[in-house]
Structure 1
Amino acid sequence: MKAIQLIFTGLMSAVALSSPGCDPAPKKSTSGALIAQVVPQKKKDTEPERNTVKIALLLDTSNSMDGLINQAKAQLWDVVNKFTRAKCGNGTQPELQIALYQYGNDGLSSREGYVQQVLNFTSDLDEISEKLFSLTTNGGEEFCGTVIQRSLKQLDWGKNPDHLKIILIAGNEPFDQGRTHYKNAAIDAKEKGVIVNTVFCGNYDQGIYGKWKEGALLTGGDYMAIDHNRQVVHIDTPYDDAIIDLNSKLNTTYVSYGSMGRSKKEKQAAQDYNAQELEEVVVVKRAVSKSSRLYKNQDWDLVDASDEEEFDLSSIEQKDLPQELREKTAKEIELYIAQKKKERIQIQKEIQELNRKREMFIAQNQGQDETGELESAMINAIKKQAAQKDYRWE
């Protein structure tokens, strides 16, 4: 599983290297009154956008990439957990949005260049997990230039030059295949302020020969080569079972509402199950992510929604409340939400405390052969480059 962690670690290196600075003044939440239909509110034009890191993950889903996809499923939570510790120089913390594309799969349309947008930019971690688990592999044509250019045109990268805009593309065929040349895609990326990082699944020199390194350097990105099929034994810790138990308790603090409430809460449980089925350590990492600031569900959970500046409980119709709240008064509902919030904060605190002990245990028991040289190099690069930029990691 370390291979995909190298991808994300390299990504963090690129973040540190590419950041011109964080926004000097983060905005307050500008969400409008929450209503049962959960209609997203537009931001006011006069208010600056909150500092945001946007990552488009472009994954080769041809036959040979099963190992890559499985690792991506597991390591999603590692990159999320790294970003929970990211801060701007002014002390604010950036938002994280991830988009997902697949390419090189025979099941995709040939007219579209065997490319598909699986997920638009979102901060919904359950949605990201669900889409990763939906990916399957099937032999096909891998057109790197096409998928890069498609992601540049279809996604809203924004115009704020201080925001971090990153493409990470992984695959194992020559980078220069397809009608859209990667150099033209690189020009488009530079115009939008997007950095392209390339990950070749195979021999380092073979990736260079296949133009993967050049594809990264054209936009100031990083080139990496990994063994996508490498299996790394994870270290079990005395804290894993307790974290998993707390994760189950954490789920009971979510109070669904609105037309999407029930399905979203079911999706939360489904992604816990997917993580558990993949590996026990994955559900532990997911639980840590769920205890962080980046796991927010204000569009379907009353507890998170109540933190919004303009939250209005009276705007939610009785039929859009969960069954256990429909016969309660407004005051009783407010007290119920407050109690669930108190429980959640305590559970999240306990998970974070256990995770600190877990990380210390892993650091003390991890053998030297369980971390790759490239991984160590990337971590060192992060520390060095982050010191020169406005981003830092605690």
Structure 2
Amino acid sequence: MKSFKHLLGIALFTMITGTAYGCDLKSKESQNTALVTKSIIHKPAKQYVKIALLLDTSNSMDGLINQAKAQLWDIVNEFTHAKCGNESRPSLQIALYEYGNDNLSSNEGYIRQVINFSSDLDEISEKLFSLTTNGGEEYCGEVIQTSLKQLDWGKSADDLKMIFIAGNEPFTQGKLNYKDATSNAREKDVIVNTIFCGNYEQGISTSWKNGATLTGGEYMAIDHNRQVVHIETPYDDVIIKLNSQLNKTYISYGALGREKKAKQSMQDSNAQEMAAAVAVKRTVSKGSRLYKNSTWDLVDAVEDNEEVLEELEVEDLPSELKEKSEGEIKKYLKEKKTEREKIQKQIQELNKKREAFIAKNQKEETGELENALLSAIKAQASKKNYKWD
């Protein structure tokens, strides 16, 4: 066994490069799934769904942040079932910015990158729950431009790249003209969707609709202070209990593993405190292909690369594995993987029944932000040849 640092480098590389193949719209390439020539397998280039959430965190935006905390899992669960034209699955990355908060630096335009593009769902959740509000100046054009400059949007025309900016002050505020920012977005093939927190007509008169139209995005107006309607179902308690069982299949390793395992538990608690339904949605996300933790969970790490066990020092192993041989460790991890897959399958099957129950009993719309996000995502994904199973 070698150094843990070497393993961490491998694991981080694995996460950054993604875990699934996405939408390859080039007609010639989309016809070929995998060609084997002289033992070399050629697969379509990995594609991504990249979403940047730009949230106004001024005094009046507490309701918006609360909705975002709850609806993160709706975005994840939406893309769990997404397929591209070549039948492969896209990888999802989410970035988060806050703007318009007096606690932020005026030199930076009252803008802060909260998290770069990431597929670490626990980390994204933690960052959302860390947001607080305080009055400030909201510069929409500048925060769009900042996200375009700082984030690696990639150059693939097949990636689905979207910005969602939400706020309630005129879109024209700030020194940087929003039209220049949206022009830069078009150059990068990034769609800007605007969510005005207030009256629909007021959003139009303050240029929020124009900000979206310039990139082919959607303009939406929501009541950000509206309470999210959660419909309880007979399946909720069972799914939440399965979440506890699922957590026991995660085998953390090294210092990072202990930290991440604690974070997993904390984000479970944060979701539960918001509402049982939010905890259910998070559990459904954890039961999906998009919840991968190869940087700290030995089951996921070995699934990606069995050789990682050879790189570990004994002290980096959890206590239950320290006295085991490499063969015994592999057997143990295989058993945990089988157990996890069984639980995840149960979660997904119960969620189908849960969704059917909600569809039958839902008398009013659910979260305002949820509707805005998912309707725009579906519309824009269809243009990139996405479909859902």
TM-score bucket of the superposed structures, by smaller chain = 0.7 to 0.9
Match of 2:170 among 166, 174, 186: 174
Task: Work out the CA distance in 1 between the residues paired with 2:270 and 2:373.
Answer: 29
Task: Work out the CA distance in 2 between the residues paired with 1:227 and 1:155.
Answer: 29
Q: Where do residues 3-82 of structure 1 align in structure 2 (5 Å cutoff)?
A: 35-39=6-10, 40-41=12-13, 49-82=45-78
Contact 1:36–1:259, Cα closer than 8 Å, also in 2: no
CA 1:122–1:378 in structure 2 vs 1: closer, same or farther (change >3 Å)? closer
Contact 1:296–1:304, Cα closer than 8 Å, also in 2: yes
**Following superposition, which runs of at least 4 residues in structure 1 exceed 6 angstroms of deviation?**
372-388
- Asked whether 1:118 is paired with 2:89, we answer no
CA 1:293–1:161 in structure 2 vs 1: closer, same or farther (change >3 Å)? same
For residue 209 of structure 2, what is the amino acid of its counterpart?
A: K
Q: Under a length normalisation based on structure 1, what TM-score does the superposition of the two structures give? A: 0.86
Mean Cα displacement is larger for which, 231-240 or 75-84? 231-240
Q: Which runs of 5+ in 1 are unaligned?
A: 1-32
Contact 2:198–2:222, Cα closer than 8 Å, also in 1: yes
CA 1:384–1:136 in structure 2 vs 1: closer, same or farther (change >3 Å)? closer
Of structures 1 and 2, the one with the larger relative CO (CA 8 A, separation 6+) is 1
- Asked whether 1:323 is paired with 2:319, we answer yes
- Note the aligned Cα RMSD (angstroms): 2.3
- Asked whether 1:390 is paired with 2:380, we answer no
Question: Any idea what the Cα deviations from partners look like across 1:23-78, whole Å, max 9, x if unmatched?
Answer: xxxxxxxxxx99443453386xx986411000010000000000000000001001
Contact 2:7–2:308, Cα closer than 8 Å, also in 1: no
Alignment partner, residue 364 of structure 1: 360
Alignment partner, residue 338 of structure 2: 342
Report the Cα offset of residue 233 of structure 1. 2.9
Report the Cα offset of residue 327 of structure 1. 1.2
- Asked whether 1:224 is paired with 2:220, we answer yes
For residue 370 of structure 1, what is the amino acid of its counterpart?
A: E
For residue 387 of structure 2, what is the amino acid of its counterpart?
A: R
- Asked whether 1:148 is paired with 2:119, we answer no
Contact 2:109–2:142, Cα closer than 8 Å, also in 1: yes
Report the Cα offset of residue 288 of structure 1. 0.3
Using the aligned pairs only, state the percent identity.
67
Matched residue SS, 2:225: coil
Aligned residue pairs: how many?
359
Contact 1:38–1:258, Cα closer than 8 Å, also in 2: no
CA 1:363–1:103 in structure 2 vs 1: closer, same or farther (change >3 Å)? same
Task: Work out the CA distance in 2 between the residues paired with 1:307 and 1:34.
Answer: 19
- Asked whether 1:131 is paired with 2:130, we answer no
Matched residue SS, 1:200: strand
